[in-house]
Amino acid sequence: MLGKKRKVWGIDRQVLEMVNESAKQSLPNEFVAAMRAEDGVISELLFLPGTIQGQDNATLFLHMLPIDYSVVGTVHSHPGPSNHWSGADLQLFRRFGNTHIITKLPYDMHSWQAYDMEGNKIELEVVDLD
């Protein structure tokens, strides 16, 4: 697969800033949303009805997703110092999407990590769409 780009290869800087701001606003709870990509770049967050945010987890009701093939995965926050996935996170990754992001305290441009559906770390380029 050398020389071939993944389906999702980047994230818009404004979207990443919105992720971190949403995570800060959700404290002490986790924040969760779905992500939409266009031309390989995550360009939008989808906030689903019925989402439950708690201190130990957040629940995203996937049946509330629109039928939309540009939805590529999920993003959520951990209200602590780790952006590594948990067993529950990995179950979600395997059930839906191919790109997932976890951000951690202090929720800045260096606090996040992207993963594929198997929990392997992946790199996403931060780009400016505007």
C-alpha 9/C-alpha 124 separation (Å) is 5
41-89 pLDDT, tens per residue? 999 998 764 455 545 665 665 655 666 667 899 999 998 899 999 998 8
Specify whether the CB–CB gap between 86 and 100 falls below 8 A: no
Name the token pair of 18. Answer: 């919105």
- At 116, is the pLDDT very low, low, confident or very high (cuts 50, 70, 90)? very high
Asked whether the predicted pLDDT for residue 2 surpasses 50, the reply is no
pTM: 0.85
Domains and CATH numbers, the chain: 29-124 (3.40.140.10)
Asked whether the predicted pLDDT for residue 101 surpasses 80, the reply is yes
Decide the pairing of beta strands 125-127 and 10-12.
parallel
Q: Quick one: which of 86, 111, 92 has its CA closest to 16?
A: 111
